Amino acid sequence: MLDQIHERFDVYPDKALVDGGFASHDDIEKAEAEPRKATVYAPVPEPKDAKRDRYEPLPGDSATIAGWRRRMQTEEAKALYQERASTAECVNAQARNHGLIRLLVRGLKKVKAVALWHAIAHNVRRALSLGARLTLAAG
């Protein structure tokens, strides 16, 4: 994802808010290494041992992974990660609620068409919702 952003805009973002299910140690290492150097914000998974602090670095952790664990313990990191939930998760949940659970088409062109229709429908719903609020506020 960071490489795609770089291809499109010729810069790497300084921060990456990552879904917990997609944040592997290898991905965190790559994101925080040269040339990307993005600070990764992803939830630290619950340990199997309930007595162990999830934010405490493990003996085999690299400096990058240990730093990520410590960073995610801070209130600043937790607050920043909550921003992801208020933006991306809402769109994903609404897409699922409106039938975008499993694609029933094959081929990149058809999949792209279905995804774009859902994006357009989402944008229209949001515009109507926000327009109604603006009308009520002005009136």
Residue 7 has pLDDT above 80, yes or no: yes
The confidence score (pLDDT) of residue 139 equals 60
Rounded to whole angstroms, the Cα distance separating 135 from 97 reads: 27
Rounded to whole angstroms, the Cα distance separating 111 from 88 reads: 20
For residue 139, being part of any structural domain is answered with yes
Number of domains in the chain: 2
Environment class of 40 (CB within 10 Å of its CB; exposed 0-12, middle 13-18, buried 19+): buried
pLDDT digit string, tens, across residues 91-111: 777 888 888 888 889 999 999
Higher pLDDT, 23 or 66: 66
Rounded to whole angstroms, the Cα distance separating 33 from 43 reads: 19
For residue 92, being part of any structural domain is answered with no
The confidence score (pLDDT) of residue 63 equals 96
For residue 131, being part of any structural domain is answered with yes
Which pLDDT band, with edges at 50, 70 and 90, does 138 fall under? low
CA dihedral 124, 130, 131, 134 (to 10 degrees): -170
Q: Tell whether 72 and 8 lie within a shared domain.
A: yes
Q: Tell whether 67 and 117 lie within a shared domain.
A: no
Q: Tell whether 6 and 70 lie within a shared domain.
A: yes
* Residue 31 contacts residue 65 (beta carbons within 8 Å): no
Residues pairing with 17 in the sheet = 41
Q: Which pTM does this prediction carry?
A: 0.66
Task: From residue 42, give the alpha-carbon distance in Å to each of 15, 39, 116.
Answer: 11, 10, 28
Q: Tell whether 110 and 66 lie within a shared domain.
A: no
Which pLDDT band, with edges at 50, 70 and 90, does 136 fall under? low
For residue 12, being part of any structural domain is answered with yes
- Domain span at residue 60 reads 1-84
The confidence score (pLDDT) of residue 107 equals 95
pLDDT digit string, tens, across residues 44-78: 998 988 899 999 999 999 999 999 999 999 999 99
The confidence score (pLDDT) of residue 103 equals 85
Q: Tell whether 23 and 49 lie within a shared domain.
A: yes
For residue 130, being part of any structural domain is answered with yes
Peptide bond into 45 cis (omega under 30): no
Percentage helix, strand, coil for the chain under 3-state DSSP, each rounded to 5: 60, 5, 35
Rounded to whole angstroms, the Cα distance separating 53 from 133 reads: 45
The confidence score (pLDDT) of residue 18 equals 86
For residue 21, being part of any structural domain is answered with yes
Residue 122 has pLDDT above 80, yes or no: yes
